[in-house]
Amino acid sequence: MSTPTKRSRPRKASEAIAAPVSHADQLVALQSREEGKTVMYKQDAWGHVETRFVRTHNVKAWEAKGFSVR
C-alpha cells in the first residue's frame, strides 16, 4: 500500500494594501458616479426597495422591468 504524500501549496501573492479613503472623499466619488443619471425604484412584496441609478436613455427599458422614476 502506498503512503499518501502531502503536497505543499504555493503561497498566494499578497495584495498591496490601499490607503484608507476619508468618508468625505467616498461621498464625492459616489456623487460623481451618480451625476447625470436617473434614480429609479422598485418595491417588492416584502417592502424592500431596490434603487438603481440609470442612464437617461435607458429609462424606458427599466420602466419595462417594473421600476419607477423618483
The terminus-to-terminus CA distance of the chain in angstroms comes to 71
pLDDT tens for the chain, 70 residues long, are: 567 778 888 888 887 777 788 899 888 888 888 888 999 999 988 999 999 999 999 999 999 999 999 7
pLDDT at 55: 92
Residue 3 pLDDT: 72
39 vs 62: CA distance, rounded Å: 11
Residue 52 three-state SS = strand
Q: How far is CA 52 from CA 5, 12, 49, in A?
A: 53, 36, 10
pTM: 0.56
